Amino acid sequence: MTIPRFEPMLATPWRSPFTDPGWLFEVKWDGVRAILTAEGGSVSVRSRRGKDVTGGYPELSGFHPSRPCVLDGEIVAFDEAGRPSFGALQQRMNLSGGKRAIEAARTTPVTYVVFDLLFDDEDLTDRPIETRLERMAAIDLPAPLVRSQVTENHGESLFAAVAEQGLEGIVAKKRGSPYRPGVRSRDWRKVPHVRIVRAVVGGFTVGEGGRAGTLGSLLLGLWDGPRLRWIGSVGTGFDDAALRAIRLGLNEMTTGDSPFQPDPDLPVRTIWVVPHLVARVEFKEWTGAGRLRAPSFKGFVADPSEAITWDAEGPGK
């Protein structure tokens, strides 16, 4: 039997937590979504976009179930305090394998938090979520694979605990719902505590004072038609090494043309860059003008720039 290649099901953003006996709730982990396939003694790991990232995470290769299966979950790196660290995870994200990946697995290990079972010797995506979770509970998951803990009914209590610990948020999943590969469904609802946006870098301002020679801020945008819609600038969240490395990279991408739509609030003395880089930014809220309030840079992601649109990432998404 050939195992299908599944695209991950996506959750619909939801503004506030709720409690409902018709729903299951779990923590939303701050990591990288991945589909893991195990068959015949071999393991493959694919990113949300379908890229094969197996070589970058050698510690996940020890999973050998008694029959073919496909898991959906999140690759997470934890810091010394046991908190998810996307910064630490970035050290692992661009490794393709070999000695560097093996050494990284030793110094910056990851955990694969499993929250769904898509295939267990048969396709389970049309089965209710309760059935999939029951089947998953019968599978022995060796470390560093762990099951996501599900809470019944008490979404608001879980959200309060998540907020107290500074975690990213929660996900609510409707009882009886099937798994819909590649679909953003209202049967899954993500309620953020920490708000995250992916945004395209379209330019930067030159740094002053202690940042002279590097950069002051990155100008961020979302595709809205053929040009970027400016959503603000981010100047915090960088250490000195990151500032130097990012500026060197940006120097290779400069262009004389602005990729942004005309906007009177765009910073003056901006250096434009070819809009290929995608930044991951934490922020408090969207302003009425469609800008990010209190943004903080959290790193770059490998997602294609053309997928980072106003419709996909903008307010209410």
Please state, in angstroms and rounded to a whole number, the distance separating the CA atoms of residues 158 and 234: 31
99 is catalytic: no
Whether a cis peptide bond, with omega within 30° of 0, leads into 144 is yes
Work out whether strand 184-192 and strand 10-13 pair parallel, antiparallel, or are unpaired. parallel
* Burial (CB count within 10 angstroms: exposed 0-12, middle 13-18, buried 19+), residue 17: buried
Amino acid found at 27: V
Site of tokens 């029959």: 67
**Which own/partner pairs from 305-308 qualify as long-range (CB within 8 Å, at least 24 positions apart)?**
305/200, 305/223, 305/275, 305/276, 305/277, 305/278, 306/223, 308/198, 308/199, 308/200, 308/222, 308/223, 308/278
28, 51, 190, 284: the catalytic one is: 28
Give burial (CB, 10 Å; 0-12/13-18/19+) of 264. Answer: exposed
Give catalytic residues, as residue numbers.
28
